[in-house]
Amino acid sequence: MSLKTLLPKIDRFRELRAGKYELAALVKELNGELKELEMAIVSNMEELDLKAVKATDGTMVSTVVKSFVHVLDKGELYDWLKESGFEDMFTVNTNSLRSFYNERIKNNETVPPGVEQYTETSLSLRKG
What tens digit of pLDDT does each residue of 22-52 get? 999 999 999 999 999 999 999 999 999 999 9
pTM (predicted TM-score) = 0.70
CA distance 91 to 93: 7
For the cut 90, the answer to whether the pLDDT of residue 88 exceeds it is: no
pLDDT of residue 44: 97
Q: Say if CB 80 and CB 113 are below 8 A apart.
A: yes
Residue-averaged pLDDT of the chain: 93
Residue 32 and residue 95 in contact, taking contact as beta carbons nearer than 8 Å: no
